[in-house]
Amino acid sequence: MLKRTLIGLLRSHELTGDKAKDPLLKSHYYKLSREKAWEEVVSTLKKMQGYKVLHEVHSVGEIVLEKRTVTGRTMDITISVINVNPVTAAVDIYSASRGSFGDLGSNYRIILDIYRTLDKKLAQYKTTSI
């Protein structure tokens, strides 16, 4: 976590993906169709405390959230629900802080928080491979 705070001195964004070096930032896969995964992800995000859903674009599978920190900074979070094959969907997250300075690792922690919540809700569908 100290490493993330130091990296966060300079960087004010974080994203997940298949090629992420940090294993905690790898894409999460669920044995669900994209439609079902979309419904589950949206309903879960709407119930999360401290997050405000700004936009839902079902046709492209993106949800845009906003989170305000204790210090008054605003963070913009984009969650993508991607169809991998007919029975598997992937969830990726991009989080960025507004402002010019680094985020002290808060975007990293937000991504982990969202993934933790989604994994708890969708535990029976979680898979590690495509």
Could you tell me what percent of the chain has a pLDDT over 70? 90
Could you tell me what percent of the chain has a pLDDT over 90? 69
Comparing 5-19, 54-68, 87-101, the range with the smallest average pLDDT is: 5-19
pLDDT digits (tens, 9 = 90+) for 24-65: 999 999 999 999 999 999 999 999 999 999 999 999 999 999
The per-residue pLDDT for 13 is 86
Range of the domain at 60: 1-129
**Rounded to whole angstroms, how far apart are CA atoms 68 and 51?**
8
Q: Structurally, how many domains does the chain consist of?
A: 1
CATH code for position 123 = 3.30.310.220
